[in-house]
Amino acid sequence: MRPAVFFDRDGVLNEDDGYAFEPSKIRWIEGALEAVQAVNQAGYLAFVVTNQSGVARGFYTEHQIRALHEWMAQQLAEAGAFIDEFAYCPHHPEGTIAQYRQICICRKPQPGMINKLAKRHSVDISRSILIGDKQSDLEAAAAAGIRGHMFQGPDLRSFIVPLLTQLQRMP
């Protein structure tokens, strides 16, 4: 079993500009690429867990989310980093697209995305963390049994390296 770092996407890896889905409009958070690289180098799994209610609201499609994640993976690879898996929840109980208008266990603050990734990748929950920028991220982490950390900027690498050092000292 390996520990993992679960990253929220908008507001943690990229600037939260509201319903981001176009690569040309993505602005990486300062130190984001290097933060993922540090997680990789520490031997931790790296995951993205992101609510994407823009699908339920009809702003963009799941195909567009997957294309954005492929682009992000490419950008990370060019920087010598990688995400082991991107997970997203397209649902929202007030969505305008009927098939996505629902309450589900994957939408944070529910822990569904974290739990599925942890099971699929044999994650050591006791040594894993989530980095988020909203209370719902921290609530999802707590519900999944992992520590959540609130990122408020400005530099993700500077934020995560001390956390990785602490985690590596744990028995």
Rounded CA-CA distance 64/84 in Å is: 19
The structure tokens 């894993």 sit at: 128
- End-to-end CA, the chain: 14
3-state SS class at 130: strand
| 10 belongs to the catalytic site | yes
Q: How many Cβ atoms from other residues are within 10 Å of residue 157's Cβ?
A: 17
Q: Which of 8, 84, 133, 137 is catalytic?
A: 8
- Per the annotation, the verdict on 8 as an active-site residue is yes
Q: Given 10, 84, 133, 137, which residue is catalytic? A: 10
Identify whether the C-beta of residue 27 lies closer than 8 Å to the C-beta of residue 15: yes
Give the catalytic positions in this structure.
8, 10
